[in-house]
Chains A and B, each alone.
Chain A
Amino acid sequence: MSALGRGFSAALIVAAAGFLIVPFKILAAPIEPVMGLIQKIFYFHVPFAITMFVTTFTAAGGSLAYLFKGSEAGDRLAQAASELGVVFGACVLVSGPLWGRKAWGVWWQWDARLTSSLLLFLILNGYLLARRYGGPGGKKLAAALSLFAAVDVPLVYKSVDIWRTVHPQTTVVPSLDPRMRPAFWMAFALVLLVWGVLLTLRMRLLHARASLADLELAIEDLEEVRS
């Protein structure tokens, strides 16, 4: 097994162990006095949201490489990262309203943070749709959409500080109770690791599919020559 393969297997084992350990760390963390047990959603809601930002920037980086240098690897990176953006975005947009229903009394508010997050999720979905149904220019159109998604990220992050919203501000994580920090950072590391593992796996698969398509064309040529 290559060094890359060994590293990937180790990451996979650590991620699987994390799934078993982190929930116990979260349960052991103190219960927040105002919100109570519902605050436990925070330990995965926030890491998934931050990783959604990371994957959006990664997708934009890949799209830039594809648009300006014609890099197929960049395009594959953008596709894999955008798919994960949709999955992680769905987790954020489902766990958030579940928390909000209990804490605020409503499932949804059209405030700046929630609306801009939904917009980011829709742009990432738009990327995948443009790739799939956009025809010959679909990949370039999707890459441009990916850049728009990256522009939306700072807006999502700072929206709670700029506009009046029901959502907590960006000061929550820095001012977190020190007894809650180990569980939060462990959950964050786990989510980031899972993202890294899934991104690597998906990119390898996309690379294999591209190689297969090239090989099929080469074999068809070979078969024609032989016949």
Chain B
Amino acid sequence: MRIRTVIAGAAAAILATVAMTASALAQEYEKVDNAVREQLPAPQFVGAAYAFIWLAVLGYVAFVARNLAKTRTEIEELKRRIERAGGGAGGGGAGGRAGGAG
């Protein structure tokens, strides 16, 4: 009984989708003569698009730069900890690995 209800529901949904698609495809574009066109200033739109693009790129650069500064601070802190722990061999390894990666 439950399976029948599900199948009937699915079939109804498929039929409705097909009917909607068919009616959408049956529509055709109509040419409208002498339509009133809104006059919008193009330079402002172009300027806004370019401004957003450069701000987004610069924002990402700032995000990476901030993380880079934070990483450098942490590397310095690690170096101090290594010196405190008295690990001479470890000090060379930390500087080499972190410096090479950053």
Contacts and interface: CB of A to CB of B under 8 A. Distances in A.
Interface string B20-41: 0000000000000000011010
The A interface is mostly helix, strand or loop, or mixed, namely helix
B68 interface: yes
Contacts of A204: 101-102
A192 B61 CA distance: 15
Contacts of A130: none
B40 A101 contact: yes
B75 A212 contact: yes
Interface in B47-87: 48-50, 52-54, 56-57, 59-61, 64, 67-68, 71, 74-75, 78, 81-82, 85-87
Interface in A170-227: 194, 198, 201-202, 204-205, 207-212, 215-216, 218-219, 222-223, 226
A66 B53 CA distance: 31
Contacts, number: 102
Contacts of B52: 91, 94-95
A105 B71 contact: no
A101 B50 CA distance: 15
A19 B67 CA distance: 24
Interface in A36-92: 36-38, 40-41, 44-45, 48, 83-84, 87, 90-91
Contacts of B43: 37
A98 B49 contact: yes
A208 B98 contact: yes
B98 A211 contact: yes
B56 A87 contact: yes
Contacts of B40: 101-102
A121 interface: no
Given A90-B56, A91-B53, A211-B98, 4 more contacts: A19-B54, A41-B45, A98-B45, A226-B86
Interface of B: 37-38, 40, 42-43, 45-46, 48-50, 52-54, 56-57, 59-61, 64, 67-68, 71, 74-75, 78, 81-82, 85-87, 90, 94, 97-98, 101-102
